[in-house]
Structures are given as C-alpha cells and as structure tokens.
Structure 1
Amino acid sequence: MPRKNAFYAQSGGVTAVINASACGVIETARAHRADIGKVYAGRNGIIGALREDLIDTSKESAAAIHGLLSTPSGAFGSCRYKLKSLEENRAEYERLIEVFKAHNIGYFFYNGGGDSADTCLKISQLSETLGYPLQAIHVPKTIDNDLPLTDNCPGFGSVAKYVAISTKEAALDVASMCETSTKVFILEVMGRHAGWIAGAAGLAAEEEGDAPHIILFPEIAFNHKKFMARVQRTVKRFGYCVIVASEGAQYKDGTFLSESGVKDAFGHSQLGGLAPLLAGMIKDELGYKYHWAVADYLQRSARHIASQTDVDQAYALGKAAVEYALAGENAVMPCIERGKGKRYRWSIGKAPLDKVANVEKMMPRNYITRDGFGITEPARAYFAPLIMGEAYPDYRGGLPVYVKLKNHSVERKLKRRFKV
C-alpha cells in the first residue's frame, strides 16, 4: 500500500515565525519517509487545495527548507478565506476531499489562528462522514495570542519583542525633543479583541516615568474624559506622553473607536486609523504637538529581531503536529504548556480542536492595572520569557538573507476546475 502524502497550508496574517513551523512540519515528515510520502503545500493557503494548485516541497533542497527557520512571511502564500458551514456550502468540503483523494493525501496540517482551527475541525469531521480517512492537525499561529488552551501562540513573542523595543526607542526620541517639539507619541498596534500585543509594550517601562505611559486595551472600555486627563497629567509631570493603543480599543457599548464599517474575508470589522484619531482628539482638546505611527505589517514581519523562544516554539509545534498525526491523533492542536516555578520552562501539550475553534482568549483582568492604563507584575512575568533570546538571521551586504523557495507545482489530476 503506497504511503499517504501530507498537505500543509498557511492561513491568515503571516508572522515572523510561521515559516519556522513549516520547517518543523516538512523536516519531521522527511525524517519519517517510511510513513509519509511527499508533503504538498497549498499555494495561497486553503485556496490552493480548492483549486488543486499544490506545491511539491520535495523539490526543495534540505538547505532551502531549513532556511525557512529564519525567513519571515508565508513561504507558500497565505489567504484570508473562511470555509462556511457544511450546511451552507458542502461543495467546498467535498472538493477538498476530492483533491485529497486524487493526490493520496492522508495528513492535513493547517497553520493558522482561530478560524483555521475551525476549518481544520470541519474537514476532520467531513472526512469521517464521507468515509475518507484523513488526520487533520491544527498548527497554531497568531500574533494576537488569543488562542485558548495554549500558554502562548507562535508569532506573538516576536511581535511582543518588536513592539516593546519600538516603544522604548521611540520614547527616547520623543523625550529628547519634548522641551520644544513633540509632546505626545502614539503607536497603534494590532489586536482586535485581545490586548496582548499592546500589553507587551509595557515591558519597555522599567522605572517610574518610563514609556509607555498609557496603554489602551480592547478589554477596558475607552473613557474619553479619563484618557484626556491622564495625557495632560503625564505631560505636565514628565514633559511628554507615549501611548500604545490596540487597534481594537472600544467604547463601553462595544463599538470600535476606529471601525470603518467594512468587513474582511472572515467577517471581521475592518479596523485602522486609531492613532490619528486619538492624535486629533489630543490636538483639539489639549493643543499638544504630536506624532503617531502604525506598526501594521512591520510588527509581524520583523524577523531581524525575532525572539529565539518564539522561533523554537514555532518549530517545535510544527514537528509535534507530524508526530501526533503519526501516532494516530486527529482533530487536535499541539500547544505550549508553561512549567511551574520562577525559571521559565515550556513543553508541548495537546488540545482538542472542538475546544479551540471559535474561542478567543483575552487578557486576564489581573494583568491590567486598576486604572486600566498599564500592566501589572503578573503580566510582566508572563510576557518577559516570551521575548527572550535573539535569533538573528544571517546577513550579507548589510541585509538579512532570506530563503525564496522554487515552489514547483504538482501536476493536476482532476479535470474539473473549482472557482473560489
């Protein structure tokens, strides 16, 4: 009986270390050639499977695959495409099974966040219904750090490091000019419903008076009056004020401050423009000169300053996904478990997908100071180990060396094309 092949796909917004998970999956599969045939990747995520647009990773050298460890972005292309329920669009799921059958795929590894966990679970369930054996394993990834049942998510540690460093450096700039120039600096970071990224910026504050002076969390309702009073008080006391604002900052009724009214492919409200909005408020009411910045893609693609802990965990979870599949597991997600004690230790655990899909993990209230504008010591103890270690890529000519795969296409076997 021929060995079953594996299918791997990347989903949603990419990270500085999602390719490290891809490396973990592919290298581990190659080490088990007696059990797994080839690893095919979906070109542009799950869309590649629907279109039967597969990439043969066996055509890549061992050095190229290993180079993914230090390469940001999505090596095979990602997408924001959420499969609807079986009842709404059964044809999509049946198409996936049709493609998997045609290419003798028995292992499905989906590397993404909460929506991807949902897709992975649905595919696992349908394969059982249709009588086609398929082991579906979700590989966690999200800079938002909002997946449940895992201590943290690959991608987050590197973003946390980038944001904390950027806050520290920008604050030194503002402080040096605040006597005659900028009084307020605002950094807008990602985080729709959970303030983990904004909270990590708090690591930059090591002494009283250090930035960030104000952090805006989605978990804490925005109070205009309290916010303005805090800005004014901070400027009077320290000469300047640095604010880190999560894009998901919202009013008490749940309305986002920066909601545009547009929805993305996953049905989420499109956010953006919070920093200039806050800057305008401050200028109009307090008259302070300001500057603002949006970390945007820079925060999630900054492989040059990635956390070594993050890289190690991303690879380990990709490796564990293959090992779980070979052990007969299905519809599970390998996860990070934090050890007890003051010294940071972590290990790989396992979470059932029906407990992961469509569940968001918010910042605990005890991680946020009573006034709602900063982080507590428990939060600092949580964040600090995740940004530890520098995993610098190789440099050539003053620039980092990143791998670009050949991404050879697999010959199509199905006559029918599927429109996405």
Structure 2
Amino acid sequence: MSKKNAFYAQSGGVTAVINASAAGVIEAAREHGDVIGKVYAGRDGIVGALTEDLIDTSEESAGAIAALRHTPSGAFGSARYKLKGLEESRAQYERLIEVFKAHDIGYFFYNGGGDSADTCLKISQLSEKMGYPIQAIHIPKTMDNDLPHTDCSPGFGSVAKYTAVSIREAGFDLASMCKTSTKVFILEVMGRHAGWTAAAGGLAAEAEGQDPHILLFPEIAFDEDKFLARVEDCVKRYGYCTIVASEGVRNADGEFLSDAGNTDAFGHKQLGGMAPTLAELIQTRLGHKYHYAIADYLMRAARHIASQTDVDQAYAVGRAAVEYAAAGKSGIMVSIVRESDEPYQWSIGEAPLEEVANVEKMMPREFISEDGFHITDAARRYLKPLIAGESYPPYADGLPQYARLKKVAVKKKLKDTFEI
C-alpha cells in the first residue's frame, strides 16, 4: 500500500467530545506513519476541502493533540454545509477529489452525523469512478443520538449527563421556593426529531415525585389539555412541576409547536423556542408563575461535566477509523457495539455507509412510559451507562484549560478558487 496523506473534517453541530475523536485520529495516524503521511484538517469542516484551506496537524505538538481530549467544540472548525446528490452537485464532489489529488490525500475521515455519512459514501463511490480511490471512513458524532447501527453516538452521553444533572439541580432550587414563588420550571433541550436528550433528563427522577415530573418527546404528539392537566396535578401533589421538553415537540398534525418559519443549510426547520411557548401556555391557562431555560449551545459545549464513557468512546472511534483505513477498509462508519448493560461493556464495530446515510434512529416506544410523559425501566438500562463517570478538564485559576491550536495553513497547490 503506497503512503498517502489523510484529510480529517468536523461536520455539523459540535459536541463536548468531538475533539477527542480528532485526537484519536491524529494520534493513531502518527503511529501508522508507514502507510499514512500527514493528517490535514479542513478549516471549517468540508468547506476547507472545497476552498483548499487545509490545516497541517503535523505542526501541532503531541501535548496539544492530547489536550484535544478535554477540549470542547470543533478545534479545526465545523460547518453546516450539505453537499447534495451527485447529479445535482457533481462539481462539488469533483472539486473535493481534485483537492485530495493535489495534496496526495488517500484517506478521508469525516466526523459527523447522518448527512456526513451520506457525503462520505458519495466521495467513496465517485473517487473510484474518477480513478483516484479514496478510503472514506465515517466517524460518528451527534449529540442527538440518532445514528443507526451504533449503540450510541459520541457526543450524546455528555449532553445526557448535562441534562440529567441540570434538571436535578433546578428541581432542588424550585422545591425550596415553590411555596411562595415559582411553581413551574421548563428546561428546553436539543432534539429536533428524536427525544433521546429529553429522555436522558428522566434519569434524574429515581423515585415517585422526583424531578423531572414531565418529559416531552418529538415521538409523542403533544396534547395540550392532557399536558396542562398533568402540570396542574404535579403542582397540587408536589407543590411545583419540572419539565424537560425537546425542541422538536409536535402537535397531532405533525407540526412543530415552535416553528420559527425558517430553515437552515440542511433544509431543517429553525425552531423558535419550545420553553417560552409552553411557559406562555401554562401562564395563560393555569396562571402559575414560571421560569424556563433554553440549554442550547451550553449543553453541547459543557466539557466540564462530560461523561467518561462518552469521552472514551469518542476517542476510540477516532482511533478505530485510522486502524480500519490502514487495514484497507472504506465506505464504512465506525460503530459502538453494546456487549452488556450491567456491567456496561462495549466494543468497536463497523457498519456499511449505505445503511447509515440519511437514516434517523428514533426513541423506541418501549422506552417511553404508557402515558407518554416519562421513560421506562428499559430506557434507564440503556441510558445509565452512557452518562457514567466524570472526566474533568484541568483547571487553573478557577477556569478549565483548553487546547488552543496553531492551525498552520497548508500551502495551496491549485490555481483556481471555488465559491461555496
């Protein structure tokens, strides 16, 4: 096998542990110097490849790369930039191959969700047709936990931990003040189509009456009267009510309750805020004083409370991608295989990209209580191991210390430019 360089890119919404995957890729590639040359990272994700804006990771010290394991967000920059089908945007794919060829890149590691898996698959297929084979490996990442053929998605476990911890702490706060003050607290969490993150909040309730009292999932149609009746019942029984609501809650007609009327680069609906929508409903119909919080970027950037399981898995899938590539594999996604629940044991596997691309894994109905407002024991068995363990970053002067890379640019070789 001839020695080729590798290209690594981060895609879509970043997570608290995506950089751990980057560290896994770069460190493993350095160990495979016999078949892999330099690792170039795309500045701002796939956009960096299209515009030939590459970062030479060989300029980063071993210490800086190791520090990525405890650094949140996307160290090299990410992008919400969707490449369409080959017939619609063939020029974009051909441009990628052109850039890869110019920089002697034979390995493509794409770290992202379902759309990224689709791009990875298409590059693998087109490169073969163009006579410049690229070994394309997809590295799973999404806090939404909606990738198929993997037990979980790196990035989810830490968001799940953040959600469960946050609603437990907020519940203690509310309980101490509810007699004369706020009666309802709503925590809005990410999750457009799948309710995994909202479900994770349910782990905080280990006994009857503990927080959260209500969970709202995209998989369960929102019934206004039923919801308000449950809120009122909780206030009467416990003195207050805590709610974890997914941003993607829909009504019986399948419409988002918080549709802001816009779409993003992937064609996804822009959601305008589930928490204030629910709060206004509660205040208008029930008259209760409320507070709400929209976790948003805070939950996916919260490296200070990351799950050790999540960090370990994120790093492992990055290393495995390189091991698979060095073994000659392509057109696959690295997967996490659950061996057992208690004790939680897992291993690394693989899944064909044809079965991963553009497929969303929803919450199974057996994970949601019969009334639709909480999680079942089956969900708890699945979720608990994913938030296990603490992996604190190093602190100095009271603040976490994160990696700040040099991000040295690779000299461009192509004369033409590409507009995105």
Alignment identity in percent?
Answer: 71
* Distance across 2 between alignment mates of 1:342 and 1:16: 26
1:313-365 Cα offsets, whole Å, 9 max, x none, are 00000000001111111110110000135311000010000000010000010
Alpha-carbon deviation of 1:273? Answer: 1.1
Structure 2 residue 134 is the aligned partner of structure 1 residue 134? yes
* Distance across 2 between alignment mates of 1:212 and 1:265: 34
Q: Tell me what 1:41 maps to.
A: 41
Q: Tell me what 1:386 maps to.
A: 386
1:6-65 Cα offsets, whole Å, 9 max, x none, are 000000000000000000000000001111000000000000000000000000000000
Structure 2 residue 3 is the aligned partner of structure 1 residue 3? yes
Q: Tell me what 1:372 maps to.
A: 372
Q: Tell me what 2:112 maps to.
A: 112
1:279-328 Cα offsets, whole Å, 9 max, x none, are 00000000000000000000000000100000000000000000111111
* Distance across 2 between alignment mates of 1:144 and 1:253: 23
SS in structure 1 at match of 2:350: strand
| Partner AA of 1:271 in structure 2 | L
SS in structure 2 at match of 1:142: coil
* Distance across 1 between alignment mates of 2:330 and 2:274: 41
Q: Tell me what 2:267 maps to.
A: 267
Alpha-carbon deviation of 1:272? Answer: 2.9
Unmatched 5+ stretches in structure 2: none
Whether the 8 Å contact between 2:164 and 2:202 is mirrored in structure 1 is yes
Q: Tell me what 2:77 maps to.
A: 77
SS in structure 2 at match of 1:389: coil
* Distance across 2 between alignment mates of 1:370 and 1:117: 34
* Distance across 1 between alignment mates of 2:270 and 2:85: 22
SS in structure 2 at match of 1:312: helix
* Distance across 2 between alignment mates of 1:389 and 1:342: 15
* Distance across 2 between alignment mates of 1:220 and 1:341: 26
* Distance across 1 between alignment mates of 2:348 and 2:273: 38
Q: Structure 1 residues 84 and 382 mapped into 2: Cα distance closer, same or farther (>3 Å)? A: same
Q: Cα RMSD over matched residues?
A: 0.8
SS in structure 2 at match of 1:7: strand
* Distance across 1 between alignment mates of 2:268 and 2:235: 36
**How many pairs were matched up?**
420
Q: Tell me what 1:63 maps to.
A: 63
Alpha-carbon deviation of 1:2? Answer: 6.2
SS in structure 2 at match of 1:72: coil
**Please, what TM-score do these two structures have when normalized by structure 1?**
0.99
* Distance across 1 between alignment mates of 2:229 and 2:247: 21
Tell me which moved more, 331-340 or 192-201.
Answer: 331-340
Q: Tell me what 1:161 maps to.
A: 161
* Distance across 1 between alignment mates of 2:149 and 2:272: 29
* Distance across 2 between alignment mates of 1:238 and 1:214: 13
Q: Tell me what 2:197 maps to.
A: 197
* Distance across 2 between alignment mates of 1:112 and 1:336: 15
Q: Tell me what 1:188 maps to.
A: 188
* Distance across 2 between alignment mates of 1:376 and 1:155: 23
Tell me which moved more, 163-172 or 333-342.
Answer: 333-342
SS in structure 1 at match of 2:163: helix
* Distance across 1 between alignment mates of 2:238 and 2:344: 35
Q: Tell me what 2:12 maps to.
A: 12
| Partner AA of 1:334 in structure 2 | V
* Distance across 2 between alignment mates of 1:410 and 1:341: 45
Q: Tell me what 1:281 maps to.
A: 281
1:102-129 Cα offsets, whole Å, 9 max, x none, are 0000000000000100110111110011
* Distance across 1 between alignment mates of 2:165 and 2:142: 20
| Partner AA of 1:333 in structure 2 | M
Unmatched 5+ stretches in structure 1: none
| Partner AA of 2:231 in structure 1 | V
SS in structure 2 at match of 1:339: strand
| Partner AA of 2:191 in structure 1 | G
| Partner AA of 1:332 in structure 2 | I
| Partner AA of 1:158 in structure 2 | S
Tell me which moved more, 304-313 or 336-345.
Answer: 336-345
- 1:183-332 alignment to 2 at 5 Å? 183-332=183-332
* Distance across 2 between alignment mates of 1:230 and 1:57: 54
Q: Structure 1 residues 228 and 160 mapped into 2: Cα distance closer, same or farther (>3 Å)? A: same
**Please, what TM-score do these two structures have when normalized by structure 2?**
0.99
* Distance across 1 between alignment mates of 2:14 and 2:186: 24
1:214-250 Cα offsets, whole Å, 9 max, x none, are 0000000000010000000110110000010000000
| Partner AA of 1:109 in structure 2 | F
